[in-house]
Amino acid sequence: MKRTWRAILALTLVCAVALTAAAMALGSKALPLTMTDACTIGNPAAAEGLHMAARIGMEQNRLQWRMDYDPAADATDASFRLAYSDRSGQWIFDGYGYNIQCLLVNQEDDSDPICREVLRQARASGEELVDVTVHLADYWQDLPLSLSGASWPGGGDFCDAYGPWDIGDTVPFPALSIPVRASDDLTVALARNADGSYEINGYDFTGISSAMYFTPFSLPLEGGTLTTLGIDPAAQPQPDWAPEGYGLWYVPVQTNDDGSSTPVPSRRQLVYSLDITRQQVVTLKQEELGGTVYLMTQEDGQLVLRLLEGGTYRLLQELSLGPVPESDPGTGGYHTLTIRDGFIVVLWDNQLTVLSRTEEGYHLDYTCPTQTAYVTGYTVSFTDPEPEKQGDEDAMPYTVATNFAMAYQDGKLAVAAYVGNSSMVCVLLLEVYGPEGLLYATARVPSVERQFAADNVRPMWVREDKKAPFPEADISIPIPELTWEK
């Protein structure tokens, strides 16, 4: 019995020593956290009353530093803790919408005519990699539209040539009849497997373009989905493309015996009508599941935002946001709409528009240009990097995005994010905007970036135990926390 207790005590002692050694090894990296000013422009007085909190982790986030920063006073207060759980990120997910898709090639269906043709030509070539081009008008009179699951609201590819990826189950959607034109060609890239068979691993279009002509949007709802298709004026849409009308469709979703869900397009309802020839949907969002719907369109050269009542889709407010900003060629006009508590930020390329919430609805406060920060190697700047470095994969530009922390008060919009590249991954970027544009911007580099390998340093949520402070379902990247003093 004594031997047993001695063995237990010895084992306990060994474990304690091992744990102590592990803690000491970790503790040796628990160095005081300091922040280096990598680049600052503007007047810090613009950030008076603003507070930023950030958390940085190492060693699977067992080492955690919290940094509280007062930008106006340029004061930093950092604290450290040793944790035993990884709370590096949060995933917010509130259900599936169903996007309108165009399924041109189904490699899993042996009867698919395009699939048979591209495989025939690939086998005839005998090459390891081969591109095959087909004329869509030889196979389709109208584009084959269907509904397929979308894990987050808004955006996505319109056309899918089914390859080694899985787009999920699809259900035909007959509410739109978009004709195939003579110029619509599909080029399919195929690769030969070791057994001599071929599979699709890419595709490209001539004439039809998911980026230029069609963009699907959808929102998850209780018992259904809200779906639509944004159609660029360049596609020259005609009224007969939507014989039943065009706009936002509500499609019920049924639960099957096996627990899966399937949309039922035969029971679709057009709940909000738009003019297909002149109103292009560019954004579709909701405050919460079944809540107010935010519909942004481009029409007659203007951006228009509509608020629709959840469930009834009655128009609550319509706001003109001004002319559609000119976009750089090839960008297609990158745009997002970000909903926060009491305000909205609309981004279009390098321009932002701020709207504040009032008792009567939203008020357009101002529109101004954004300021880009460039992270190159171990440097940060607010001017373009040298031309020879602009194409460097380590040169990363950052501007305001929907996954930035945001706080708005008295006409000043503060935005912040962790940014970086392969050299630095936890640079803290803070910018403050007003009606005249950028008022203040700073980039801060935590000392652990230089002391340890960048791939071992990770940004973390400040609010680990709470839901992130915004409703978008497609954001899981950790962000700092911003608050203005009331």
Beta bridge partners of 347: 336, 352
Lowest-pLDDT range of 2-11, 197-206, 222-231: 2-11
- Compute the average pLDDT of residues 298-317: 96
Whether the predicted pLDDT of 207 surpasses 60? yes
Report how far apart, in Å, the C-alpha atoms of 310 and of each of 37, 288, 340, 446 are.
Answer: 46, 9, 18, 44
Between residues 47 and 397, the one the model is more confident about? 47
What is the reported pTM?
0.85
Residue 484 corresponds to which amino acid?
A: W
Whether the predicted pLDDT of 305 surpasses 80? yes
Contact 163, 107 (CB under 8 A): yes
What does the pLDDT read at residue 449? Answer: 78
- Compute the average pLDDT of residues 413-417: 97
What does the pLDDT read at residue 453? Answer: 67
Whether the predicted pLDDT of 13 surpasses 50? no
Whether the predicted pLDDT of 471 surpasses 50? no
- Compute the average pLDDT of residues 280-298: 92
What does the pLDDT read at residue 144? Answer: 87
Q: Which residues contact 259 (CB under 8 A, 6 or more apart)?
A: none
- Quote the CA–CA distance of 344 and 192 in Å, as a whole number: 49
Contact 293, 285 (CB under 8 A): yes
- Quote the CA–CA distance of 130 and 120 in Å, as a whole number: 11
What does the pLDDT read at residue 476? Answer: 67
Whether the predicted pLDDT of 166 surpasses 60? no
- Tens of pLDDT, residue by residue over 65-113, are 999 999 999 998 988 888 766 555 555 555 668 889 887 887 666 678 8
What does the pLDDT read at residue 24? Answer: 44
Whether the predicted pLDDT of 314 surpasses 90? yes
Whether the predicted pLDDT of 463 surpasses 80? no
Lowest-pLDDT range of 76-80, 241-245, 281-285: 76-80
What does the pLDDT read at residue 51? Answer: 97
Contact 418, 480 (CB under 8 A): yes
Q: Single out the residue of 34, 31, 41 nearest to residue 443, CA to CA.
A: 41
User: What percentage of the chain reaches a pLDDT higher than 70?
Assistant: 78
Whether the predicted pLDDT of 356 surpasses 60? yes
Phi (first) and psi of residue 312, to 5 degrees: -100, -25
- Quote the CA–CA distance of 321 and 347 in Å, as a whole number: 11
Number of residues written out for the chain:
486
First to last CA, the chain: 68
Report how far apart, in Å, the C-alpha atoms of 265 and of each of 118, 217, 314, 334, 472 are.
Answer: 31, 16, 22, 30, 26
Contact 130, 121 (CB under 8 A): yes
**Token output for 356:** 């504040």
Pick left, alpha or beta for residue 460 (phi over 0 → left; psi -120 to 50 → alpha; otherwise beta): beta
Work out the pLDDT band at 430, boundaries 50, 70, 90: very high
Report how far apart, in Å, the C-alpha atoms of 348 and of each of 235, 265, 345, 439 are.
Answer: 21, 33, 10, 20
CA atoms in the 13 A half-sphere facing the CB of 67: 28
- The C-alpha angle 156, 162, 163, rounded to 5 degrees, equals 110
Q: Single out the residue of 243, 233, 228, 236 nearest to residue 293, CA to CA.
A: 228
Contact 54, 430 (CB under 8 A): no
Beta bridge partners of 444: 37, 428
Work out the pLDDT band at 316, boundaries 50, 70, 90: very high
- Tens of pLDDT, residue by residue over 208-225, are 655 567 889 999 898 999
Work out the pLDDT band at 127, boundaries 50, 70, 90: very high
**Token output for 392:** 């460097």
Residue 302 corresponds to which amino acid?
A: Q
